[in-house]
């Protein structure tokens, strides 16, 4: 099967080894406002972008980031809808963004012959909330790089790791209250957006870190703490398990789907429950993590996607 990845100018290396073409007609942006502007522009004037992509010459096309841009008609399409957070936590979004998500995600789902979800729980929510036929929605788990995210024989240090941007659903404020009950531990944050924000004592924000630095943090941390209020999958939890990092995570269906019995679960709205979960995870250790993570491979993920592509082409 011949595959080509279409990538924006701000992520020209995102194809990760696949043949690729940089698309200059889509003005991608790192900021939420810039992303909305780019999507709105592409939706309002789809023809130039369709010409640049050569959509009508493709056997099938996959939109992996929840939105079908540009809209396609004749070419068989599949869209991965990563989550429906705006349906469950609408207060986390301004009115305009919430309405845009509702319209854009709904249209993408309607126009796609197949819709991919990143967990079985996400698949169920797509069927329930968007009224999709169950036979059109496929759950394909994300995965972890098992050559990079591995355990190491190094001492664990007295800090918790939380790799997350400070978005509302990531629930940092409740975590900070839980940290007050854990005086023996520090908290290390990674991710963009922490600069300039006041942080409590014993909290350090490292900003964006490389994968090599992140692996080192997983290997040294006393535990991953993951108090998110909503997830479609839970990639940091899977990465922590692969590194044998003890994991204390929110009791959410997607996280149970990913972590199984290899993590400790807590109520993310209760600081005392978070603190108790952290202590239990640290005491239990992370020995069960690598075996649990082993079944989540990118080879399996890629094979499932190829099956979808072949199905689209065969039905065209």
Percentage of the chain lying above the pLDDT 90 cut: 85
Q: Which two tokens stand for residue 91?
A: 């207060």
Query: DSSP H helical segments within 58-94, as ranges?
Result: 85-88
Q: Do 5-142+298-315 and 157-293 fold alike per CATH?
A: yes
Q: What confidence score (pLDDT) does residue 189 get?
A: 98
Q: In sequence order, what DSSP letters do the residues of 252-281 get, joined into one string?
A: -HHHHHHHGGGSEEE-TT-HHHHHHHHHHH
Average confidence score pLDDT of the chain:
95
Average pLDDT for residues 272-301, to the nearest whole number? 98
b/e code 171-207 from CB counts within 10 Å (16+ = b) = bbebbbebbeebeebbbbbbbeebeeeeeeebbebee
What is the pLDDT confidence band of residue 96, given thresholds at 50, 70 and 90?
confident
Of 19-28, 38-47, 267-276, which one has max mean pLDDT?
Answer: 267-276
Q: Which CATH number fits domain 157-293: 3.40.50.300, 3.40.50.2000, 3.40.930.10, 3.30.160.160?
A: 3.40.50.2000
Could you give the CA distance from residue 79 to residue 116 in angstroms, rounded to a whole number? 6
Is 90 exceeded by the pLDDT of residue 290?
yes
Mean pLDDT of 193-219: 96
- Average pLDDT (252-262) is 98
Residue with tokens 């007295």: 158
Q: What is the C-alpha separation between 61 and 236, in angstroms, rounded?
A: 28
Q: Is the pLDDT of residue 81 over 90?
A: yes
33: pLDDT confidence band, cut at 50, 70 and 90?
confident
Chain centroid, CA 119 distance in Å: 11
User: Is 239's pLDDT higher than 90?
Assistant: yes
Tokens (6 digits) for 34? 């810039």
274, 174 Cβ separation under 8 angstroms: yes
- Enter the tokens of residue 121: 């729980």
Task: Report whether 257 contacts 235 (CB < 8 A).
Answer: no
Looking at residue 34, what is its pLDDT? 84
What are the residue ranges spanned by the domains of the chain? 5-142+298-315, 157-293
**Token pair recorded at residue 306:** 């190829």
- d(CA 164, CA 154) in angstroms, rounded, equals 24
Separation between Cα atoms, residue 58 and residue 130, nearest integer Å: 27
Residues 6+ apart with CB under 8 A from 164: 170, 172, 189, 190, 191, 226, 228, 236
Higher-scoring residue by pLDDT: 309, 40:
309
**How many Å apart are CA 62 and CA 309, to the nearest integer?**
8
Residue 247 pairs in a beta bridge with 224
Interatomic CA distance for residues 17 and 136, integer angstroms: 29
For residue 23, list its beta bridge partners: 8
**Distance from C-alpha of 181 to C-alpha of 272, rounded to nearest angstrom:** 7
pLDDT at 288: 98
**Which pLDDT score, from 0 to 100, does residue 9 have?**
93
Which strands sit side by side in the sheet containing 77-80, from one edge to the other?
61-63, 77-80, 114-117, 137-139
**What's the whole-model pTM score?**
0.94
CATH topology of domain 5-142+298-315: Rossmann fold (3.40.50)
CA distance 75 to 312: 9
pLDDT in tens, 121-145: 999 999 999 999 999 999 999 999 9
pLDDT tens-digit readout, 51-71: 999 998 999 999 999 999 888
As a whole number of angstroms, the distance between CA 76 and CA 54 comes to 13
Higher pLDDT, 40 or 75: 75
């Amino acid at each position: 099967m011949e595959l080509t990845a279409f990538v924006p100018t701000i992520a020209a290396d995102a194809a990760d080894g696949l043949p690729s073409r940089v698309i200059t007609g889509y003005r991608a942006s790192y900021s939420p406002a810039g992303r909305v502007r780019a999507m709105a522009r592409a939706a309002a004037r789809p023809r130039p972008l369709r010409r640049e992509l050569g959509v009508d010459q493709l056997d099938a096309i996959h939109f992996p980031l929840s939105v079908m841009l540009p809209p396609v008609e004749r070419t068989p399409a599949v869209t991965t809808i990563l989550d429906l957070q705006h349906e469950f936590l609408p207060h986390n979004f301004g009115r305009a963004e919430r309405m845009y998500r509702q319209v854009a995600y709904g249209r993408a789902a309607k126009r796609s012959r197949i819709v991919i979800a990143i967990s079985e729980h996400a698949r169920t929510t797509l069927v329930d909330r968007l009224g999709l036929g169950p036979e059109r929605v496929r759950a394909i788990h994300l995965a972890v790089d098992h050559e990079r995210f591995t355990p190491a024989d190094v001492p664990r240090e007295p800090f918790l790791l939380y790799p997350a941007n400070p978005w509302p659903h990531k629930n940092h404020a409740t975590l900070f209250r839980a940290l007050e009950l854990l005086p023996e531990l520090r908290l290390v944050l990674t991710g963009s957006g922490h600069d300039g924000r006041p942080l409590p004592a014993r909290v350090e924000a490292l900003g964006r870190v490389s994968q090599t630095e992140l692996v080192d943090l997983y290997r040294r941390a006393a535990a991953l703490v993951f108090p998110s209020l909503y997830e479609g999958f839970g990639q940091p939890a899977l990465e922590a398990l692969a590194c044998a990092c003890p994991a204390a995570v929110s009791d959410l269906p997607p996280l149970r789907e990913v972590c199984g019995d290899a993590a400790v679960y807590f109520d993310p709205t209760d600081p005392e429950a978070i603190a108790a979960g952290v202590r239990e995870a640290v005491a239990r250790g992370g020995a069960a993590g690598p075996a649990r993570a082993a079944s989540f491979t990118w080879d399996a993920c890629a094979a499932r996607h190829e099956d979808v592509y072949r199905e689209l082409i065969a039905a065209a």
